[in-house]
Amino acid sequence: MKFKNKFSKKKMSWGLSAIKPHYVYWSTVIILLLTPILAFIYLKLILGGQSQSFKTVLRNNPLISIMIIVALIDLMFSYYLWQYHQQIIDQKKFLKTIYLVLLISQILLGNIFLVILASLGLYQLKEVKKATATIKPLKTFPFFLTFFAIIYALCILLLAKVYLF
């Protein structure tokens, strides 16, 4: 659906095609950054509502421990995406791998916001242009993405153990 803006001669478009790939990328970084903040606010509310110490809450509720681990991994992942955004944002191969790892891990962890953003990022990959020759290839990318995928997988296994056993 296209609407004409009264102030300019450009046509405005609404829908998924109006969202630019770099907006999705930066939204993903921001949500990954906000996840630990929200997790620690939730933890503070739990500690405030109970007369237990932090150590006791962690011992009695393993889901809180897993939530803290995932929140810290999300913080490290957002920092990595922010730090190397110039090398990542213009390369389809890197973006596709990042969005696939995020999509799979966050579906299993239950983070619906990142699932939506990763799905939207995969959808918007067709609009990413070829990488420019001035950007150096990112050599640490496979190591860090493997590291994050392994930690996410371990958290998913811990969640499965808590819920199934």
Instruction: State yes or no: pLDDT of 6 exceeds 60.
Output: no
- The yes-or-no verdict on residue 61 having pLDDT over 80 is yes
Q: What percent of the chain has a predicted confidence (pLDDT) above 70? A: 84
C-alpha 74 chain-centroid distance: 7
Q: Which residues, in sequence order, are bridge partners of residue 2?
A: 13
**Is residue 4 scored above 70 in pLDDT?**
no
DSSP β-bridge partners for residue 33: none
Calpha distance 28→1 (Å, rounded): 26
Nearest Cα to 136, choosing from 91, 95, 101?
91
Q: Check whether 95 has a pLDDT greater than 80.
A: yes
Q: How far is CA 21 from CA 8, 27, 89, 125, 144, in A?
A: 23, 10, 8, 7, 22
Per-residue pLDDT at 90 exceeds 90: no
**pTM value?**
0.79
Query: Stretch 8-23: mean pLDDT, rounded?
Result: 64
Q: Which uninterrupted H or E stretch holds 13?
A: strand 11-13
Tokens standing for residue 16:
């998924």
d(CA 38, CA 158): 21
Read off the DSSP letter of residue 127. G
Q: What is the mean pLDDT of residues 55-78?
A: 91
